[in-house]
Chain A
Amino acid sequence: MVELTVDGRTIQATEGELLVHVLARNGVFVPTLCHDAKLDPYGGCRVCVVEVEGAPRPVPACATRAAQGMAISTNGRAEKLRRTLTEMLLTEHLNANPGGRPNELVGLAEELGAEAPFILPDAKREPYEDRNRLMGYDPDACILCNRCVRYTQEVMQCSALSLEGRGPEARIVPTWDRSWLDTECELCGGCLSVCPTGAIYEKFEEGFPANREVQLDKVKTTCTFCGVGCQIDLNVDRETNRIVKVTSDPSYLPNEGDLCVKGRFAFNFVHHPDRLTEPLVRGEDGELHETSWEHALAVAAKGLEEVRDRHGPQSIGFLASARLTMEENFLIQKLARAVIGTNSVHSCEAT
């Protein structure tokens, strides 16, 4: 442990801990944009600058480590610098809301009372279309913090995205200028989840108004795709009774906000027109026909009862499913054992 002072107050910290985390734990607000606790320290956007006594110039709290005797000042000159840096970012920030995602830069500007003094004449950057249907990128919303690129390199450990060009030409592109579908990109959407300004955004179905985003209702649940059990939020539009997107949160275990392509994007099956909506019973013509629940339940009960009467309970097999909940599988084995009278209950997940 080391001792240091923050705005005159003495606090304790682990040696080598990043200042931004030390400050947060002690209730001192320092804004960040490029920082992500999952990623290596970067110090790119510098909106987290603080002053350290004896240092020749202000330092980014997200890339400076705690040491014994440090005297840190987070207000005064550092505060002015943060406002100036925010204003500089705003001079190139032409589109604050491409896909309707939350924009931390806009939030920060409001908090600090920062406004763009002017728009840089060469602020406009060349957009591009990608043929993937899941995500888009708007360079006019991008502040080049590189969080997306660093996520792909450090967390996914692939080379899906790159920072291309310099000055007014700089933008994020799929590696080698290919489509996102042709790079190593696995469409996990991690870039989307770490982007602080919404420059990388979901492509929604046509006609979905971007500003509806704010009215989405989040329901926390467990992903349905594999045994990891990622915790997710289904973002539901109550007006249409549809899932609009899936998000997660760094505080959720075991996935800490990370998702894969299926967990983040493969939820549309829920709304697919092929979904069965009414019970079906096979008719004399050999086809399945829609019918009432009452009728279908009666036919099903009679059919299996007749099999049991003719051939005994051992002649009926039950296939449960790992797709279903624990509670449902419990009931299915109870149905087999206590109602039909057989232990023949199993599933394709016999591993």
Chain B
Amino acid sequence: MGRGASTNSIPEIDDDRFLLVIGSNTTEAHPVLALRMKKAVRNGATLVVADPRKIWLTKIAKRHLQLRPGTDVWLLNAIMHVILEEGLQDEEYIRAHTEDFEAVREIVKRYPPEQAERMTGVPAEDIRATAREYAAEKYAAVFYTLGITEHACAVDNVWSLSNLVLMTGHLGYESTGLNALRGQNNVQGLNDAGANPSYLPGYQSLTDPEVVLKFEERWGAKVPQTPGYRLDQMISGLHDGRIKGLYLVGENPAHTEPNAHHVEEGLERVEFMVAQDLFLNETTRDHADVVFPASSFAEKEGTFTNTERRVNRVRKALDSPGSAREDWRIVVDFANALGAGWWYETAEDIWNEFADLSPNWSGIRYDRLEEVGLQWPCTDLDHPGSRFLHAPRPDRAGGRAKFFPVEYQPPIEQPDSEFPFVLSTGRTLYHYNSAGMTMREPGVTDKQVEPFFEISAEDASNLGLEEGDLARLVSRRGELEAEARITERVYPGLVWMALHFAQAKVNWLTHDVGDPLIGTPEYKVSAVRIERA
């Protein structure tokens, strides 16, 4: 479509009439946004949830498409198959605003719902009904998050969703669209800021000479032209010697990256590592040469950009403890120790440099963010910000969105006789990633502190496990112990575990073969066996 962001706004969810939530456990990962989904359903909207687990939202859903992990492309192509078979597509939208539709038409012919039922486990009738309801409702919105993207076929999955949205013309007006729910508080801002090897700030091209010149003039320095490494390439680079130095900001790759033992071994080879963080963590305690004490969100000025592209102000409420400094000051001080001669005095100075260089943000300035944040694109000081994207036509160059035909690729690791269970991972309401913050909140961890995994009653009984029994989960890469939680949320053959527990890191088990284009790890599908501990 031409933009890396949610198309529509959070308040518009109230007026959705149909919601497809796929690969998003919204009530736990985005609890307050989920309140709007609950409200829409209470007001009569139809909710369809596609997820391998019986997550909370399935309680209020009209239908639960309980697909096997990693079979999203099959499910989505089959939904499109029905739409085209029954002529439910929006021909006018396709003709006026898209290109390459025919390629998708050809491919989805090969994905009939009956065969999809065998591949995904979702009844063909449910696929047909979902296709009909979605195509018929104007105010129909799609929501997805890491259940779609934490796969080796992440990009395929997102393209499939994009194809579905485009062929039904669900784009360019309120209460519709394709909405990626951003997991962390500032994923959107991090990407907007250009902290990515493949583009400059504001998603601007690293290879366009005019753009590069603009940055070089403002920065008084060359923009390197050698392609950079993604995180997964940096980790493999630690092993093969391409990467010798690391600068780490508030990250804990020894916990959060897949195949964590392998990551640990890589980190042991690093020649020099500098980090800035609130706490010591597994990565810095053992491997950092210098650690700068940094600031929490309550101790600095700046902005976070939320999942609806809204730039919101972060304001300083407290001084940092001891001699800890704001992270941006640390970066400035470090750059100046390298002789950079940076002059920034406030966070606003930094924002203004970004906004001056990035056309879609140039209208956003701190004085306009006092009462309520602004949504990009916002191209000049009179621009009110953009509630939804792709209006009146797709924002892609040329004004046409592109269809990408997608074929199903099975997950990298399949269960077998030695490792018969599919392990999927995720987060829970009560914790946050490696839980460096939330495990330090006793009032909250009271609700959930011991490592656990979810298993079906049938599998538990076959293994002789009772509720709360300690079991050992073993993969080709590692093992851990956790309590069995017997639940209807997972079906026989599937187990699920959260990533939050330092003493039982699920990433000891996960594999590290990611998406070939963008490197996203396949946290959602690994093969494990389970033993009584």
Contact = CB atoms under 8 A, between A and B. Distances in A.
Contact of A331 (B33, B324, B332): B332
B71 interface: no
A268 interface: yes
A298 interface: yes
Interface string A126-137: 000001111000
Interface string B277-295: 1111000010011111110
A131 B327 CA distance: 38
A230 B317 contact: no
Given A186-B429, A261-B429, A276-B291, A254 B10 contact: yes
Interface string A37-76: 0000000000000000000000000000000000000000
B293 A279 contact: yes
Contact of B150 (A221, A270, A351): A351
Interface string A245-286: 000000001110011111101111111101111111110000
Nearest to A303: B272
Contacts of B107: none
B489 interface: no
Interface stretch (B108-116, B129-137, B308-316, B451-459): B308-316
A221 B314 contact: yes
A319 B249 contact: yes
Interface in B431-445: 432, 436-438, 440-444
Given A221-B298, A227-B185, A236-B317, A330 B193 contact: yes
B219 A314 contact: no
Contact of A342 (B60, B200, B224): B224
A157 interface: yes
Contacts of A230: 32
B42 interface: yes
A214 interface: no
Interface stretch (B62-70, B236-244, B413-421, B461-469): B236-244
Nearest to B257: A348
B248 interface: yes
Nearest to A288: B291
B518 interface: yes
B328 interface: yes
Contacts of B379: none
Nearest to B235: A317
B172 interface: no
A139 interface: no
B323 A241 contact: no
A196 to B, nearest CB: 21
A344 B11 CA distance: 37
Contact of A262 (B181, B307, B327, B444): B444
Contacts of B189: 322, 325-326, 329
A241 B353 CA distance: 32
Chain A contact surface mostly: mixed
Interface stretch (A14-22, A167-175, A304-312): A304-312
B126 interface: no
Contacts of B244: 307, 310-311, 315-316
B201 interface: yes
Name which of A255, A279, A282 has the most chain B CB atoms within 10 A of its CB: A279
Contacts of A224: 185, 296-297, 304
B519 interface: yes
B274 A338 contact: no
Given A322-B184, A339-B335, A266 B441 contact: yes
B243 to A, nearest CB: 5
Given A223-B185, A243-B318, A351 B242 contact: no
B170 interface: no
A346 interface: yes
B521 to A, nearest CB: 8
B438 A262 contact: yes
B470 to A, nearest CB: 21
A229 B372 CA distance: 11
Interface in A106-161: 131-134, 154-157
A347 B509 CA distance: 21
Contacts of B230: 346, 350
B430 to A, nearest CB: 6
B440 A274 contact: yes
A297 interface: yes
A265 B325 CA distance: 24
B460 to A, nearest CB: 21
Contact of B195 (A229, A332, A340): A332
Contact of B324 (A276, A300, A338): A276
Given A221-B314, A304-B245, A324-B186, A319 B440 contact: no
Nearest to A255: B32
Interface string B224-237: 10111111101001
Given A276-B291, A319-B247, A348-B253, 5 more contacts: A260-B31, A261-B430, A321-B250, A326-B303, A332-B195
Interface of B: 9-11, 29-33, 35, 38-39, 42, 60, 146, 149-150, 154, 180-198, 200-201, 206, 219, 221-224, 226-232, 234, 237, 242-251, 253, 256-257, 271-272, 274, 277-280, 285, 288-294, 296-300, 302-308, 310-319, 321-328, 331-335, 337-338, 340, 344, 347, 350-351, 353-354, 372-373, 429-430, 432, 436-438, 440-444, 446-447, 518-520
Closest 7 CB pairs of A and B: A277-B322, A229-B306, A343-B228, A325-B302, A227-B182, A276-B293, A320-B195
23 contacts: A219-B315, A219-B317, A222-B297, A224-B304, A227-B182, A234-B317, A254-B33, A262-B432, A268-B440, A270-B298, A274-B279, A275-B321, A308-B245, A313-B224, A318-B249, A319-B231, A333-B195, A337-B221, A340-B338, A343-B206, A343-B227, A344-B229, A344-B234
